[in-house]
Chain A
Amino acid sequence: MGRFLDLLKTGPISGFRLRTKLLLLALTTLALPWAGCQYAREMESVLRENEQQSLLAVTTTIAGSLKGRQELLFRADSLPASEQANDPRDITPVVLSGAPLLDGRADEWDQDARSLVRVAGPGGDGLRLFAATHERRLYLAMIVRDNRWVFDASDLTPLDSASIGDRLWLAFDDKRGGQQRLFFGSTGPGAVHARRIETLEYGRETAIDEPRIQGVWQRARDGWVLEIGVPLSMVGQHLGVLVDDRDRRGTPRTSYGTLEASDLRAVGRLIAASPDLNDHLRQFAQPGVEITVASSTGALLTRLDAPALPGDYTRMRGFLPRMYRLFLDGGAIPRAVSEAERAGKAEALTSRAARGTPEAALFGGRYKDSVIVAAAAPIYSADGKRIIGVIQLAQTADRWLTLRDQALTRLLNLTLFVTLFAVGAAFWFAGRMTLRITRLGAASETALGREGSVSRVLPEADAPDELGDLSRSFSSLLGRLDEYTGYLRTLAGKLAHEIRTPLTIIRSSLENLESEAQASNGMGENAKVYIARAREGSERLGAILTAMGAATRVEEAIAHSERHRFDLGALVRSTTDAYGGAFPNRRFVCEVPAERLEINGAPELVVQMLDKLVDNAVDFSTDGATISIVLRAGDSHAELDVTNPGPPLPPEAATRLFESLWQSRAESGTRPHFGLGLYIVRLIAEFHGGSAQAANLPDNSGAVFTIRLLR
Chain B
Amino acid sequence: MKKTIAIVEDERAIRDNYAAAFSREGYAVRGYPNRRDAMAAFAARLPDLAVIDISLEDEPEGGFELCRDLRGMSPELPIIFLTARDSELDAVSGLRLGADDFLTKDLSLAHLIARVNALFRRVDALRRPPEEKQVIRRGALTLDSERMSVTWNSEVVLLSLTEFWIVYALTKHPGHVKNRQQLMDAANVVLDDNTITSHIKRVRRKFQVVDPAFDAVHTVYGMGYRWVE
A-side interface residues toward B, CB under 8 Å? 497, 500-501, 503-505, 507-509, 511-512, 515-516, 519, 542, 546, 549-550, 552-554, 556-557, 560, 570-571, 574-579, 603-604, 607-608, 610-611
Q: Kindly state whether residue B13 has any CB partner on chain A within 8 Å.
A: yes
Closest A residue by C-beta to B190: A542
A-B contact pairs, 12 of them (CB 8 A): A500-B106, A504-B106, A505-B13, A508-B17, A511-B108, A512-B21, A512-B24, A515-B21, A574-B223, A578-B221, A603-B219, A608-B194
Q: Find chain B residues with CB under 8 A from A504 CB.
A: 11, 14, 84, 105-106
Contact between chains at A556 and B89 (CB < 8 Å)? yes
Q: Kindly state whether residue B193 has any CB partner on chain A within 8 Å.
A: yes
Q: Kindly state whether residue B60 has any CB partner on chain A within 8 Å.
A: no
A-contact bits for B188-228, CB 8 A (1 contact / 0 none): 00001111011000000000000000000001111100000
Residue from the list B84, B109, B192, B194 in contact with A512, Cβ < 8 A: B109
Complex interface residues of chain B between 86 and 126 (CB less than 8 A to chain A):
86-89, 104-106, 108-110
Contact between chains at B13 and A509 (CB < 8 Å)? yes
Q: Kindly state whether residue B18 has any CB partner on chain A within 8 Å.
A: yes
Closest B residue by C-beta to A607: B221
Complex formed: what's the CA distance from A48 to B193 in Å? 105
Q: Find chain A residues with CB under 8 A from B18 CB.
A: 508
Complex formed: what's the CA distance from A411 to B189 in Å? 97
Complex formed: what's the CA distance from A552 to B194 in Å? 11
Instruction: Determine how close the nearest CB of chain B comes to the CB of A25; give it in whole angstroms.
Output: 62
Q: Find chain A residues with CB under 8 A from B21 CB.
A: 508, 511-512, 515
Contact between chains at B194 and A578 (CB < 8 Å)? no
Instruction: Determine how close the nearest CB of chain A comes to the CB of B105; give it in whole angstroms.
Output: 4
Q: Find chain A residues with CB under 8 A from B41 CB.
A: none
Contact between chains at A500 and B223 (CB < 8 Å)? no
Closest A residue by C-beta to B224: A578
Instruction: Determine how close the nearest CB of chain A comes to the CB of B178; give it in whole angstroms.
Output: 14
A-contact bits for B160-187, CB 8 A (1 contact / 0 none): 0000000000000000000000000000
Contact between chains at B17 and A512 (CB < 8 Å)? yes
Complex formed: what's the CA distance from A542 to B192 in Å? 12
Contact between chains at B221 and A574 (CB < 8 Å)? yes
- Known A556-B87, A557-B88; judge A511-B223 contact (CB<8 A): no
Contact between chains at B222 and A542 (CB < 8 Å)? no
Q: What DSSP secondary structure best describes chain A's contact surface?
A: helix
Q: Find chain A residues with CB under 8 A from B223 CB.
A: 574, 578
Instruction: Determine how close the nearest CB of chain B comes to the CB of A485; give it in whole angstroms.
Output: 21
Residue from the list B88, B104, B109, B220 in contact with A508, Cβ < 8 A: B109
Complex formed: what's the CA distance from A395 to B110 in Å? 129
Q: Find chain B residues with CB under 8 A from A505 CB.
A: 11, 13-14, 17
Complex formed: what's the CA distance from A577 to B11 in Å? 46
Q: Find chain A residues with CB under 8 A from B89 CB.
A: 556
Q: Kindly state whether residue B85 has any CB partner on chain A within 8 Å.
A: yes
Contact between chains at B109 and A511 (CB < 8 Å)? yes
Q: Kindly state whether residue B73 has any CB partner on chain A within 8 Å.
A: no
Complex formed: what's the CA distance from A515 to B108 in Å? 12
Complex formed: what's the CA distance from A574 to B220 in Å? 8
Contact between chains at B108 and A500 (CB < 8 Å)? no
Closest 10 CB pairs of A and B: A578-B222, A575-B222, A508-B17, A504-B105, A511-B109, A500-B84, A505-B13, A574-B221, A571-B221, A604-B197
Closest B residue by C-beta to A614: B222
Instruction: Determine how close the nearest CB of chain A comes to the CB of B62; give it in whole angstroms.
Output: 16
Q: Find chain A residues with CB under 8 A from B85 CB.
A: 497
Q: Find chain B residues with CB under 8 A from A519 CB.
A: 24
Complex formed: what's the CA distance from A556 to B109 in Å? 28
Complex interface residues of chain B between 1 and 23 (CB less than 8 A to chain A):
11, 13-14, 17-18, 20-21
Instruction: Determine how close the nearest CB of chain A comes to the CB of B228; give it in whole angstroms.
Output: 16
Instruction: Determine how close the nearest CB of chain A comes to the CB of B206; give it in whole angstroms.
Output: 15
Residue from the list A509, A557, A574 in contact with B194, Cβ < 8 A: A557
Closest A residue by C-beta to B87: A556
Contact between chains at A576 and B194 (CB < 8 Å)? no
Closest A residue by C-beta to B89: A556
